[in-house]
Amino acid sequence: MGDFTIRLSSKLVNRLAEDSEKLKKKTKKTKANTSRQNQVALDDSKTLKGKPPSFLPVTTTAQSAELNAIQSAVQQSEKVLEKLNKQEQNMLQEVTERAKSLHEREFKFPYQKKPLPCLAEKDACEACYKEFVKDPLKCLRLLTSYADCSRQARQQVSSAN
């Protein structure tokens, strides 16, 4: 057999209780009682048309156990959802911090103890080429001094390693 639910309005319950009390007091004519019950049914149908009545659900023990199980499952899933949201926030913060760290390391030049070698010779060479665009052979002396300087710097680096 399947479970079922019976819903009764509070007004109907009150009227039925009043009617049962009146039936105990008055045991005169059954026709009068029958007409009174019909009147109660008519009154109830009139109240149902205007607005929805408040119903009182009547549940069985099996239904209440099932309802408790569902409520427990909902509470557990809400706790799991809370934990997942916290983990997501923590992971997002960690990823953001790591991204910042990587970005700082990637785009920062390492600290240089020594200035770049031959920087003055390079600048002099570039300035000469800009000045003598049509006659670059006039910069040959500066170019050879830049080449000599860079050769010496490479030798120093290779002998240090």
| Average confidence (pLDDT) per 10 residues, the chain, 161 residues | 64 72 59 52 50 56 84 92 94 93 74 79 95 93 95 88 68
Tell me how many domains the chain contains.
3
pTM, two decimal places: 0.32
Res 81: pLDDT: 94
For residues 99-130, b (16+ Cβ closer than 10 Å) or e, as one string?
eeeeeeeeeeeeeeeeeeebeebeebbeebee
* 132 in a structural domain: yes
Farthest CA pair distance, the chain: 139
Q: For residue 63, how many other CB atoms are within 10 A of its CB?
A: 14
* 127 in a structural domain: yes
54 and 10 in a common domain = yes
133 and 92 in a common domain = no
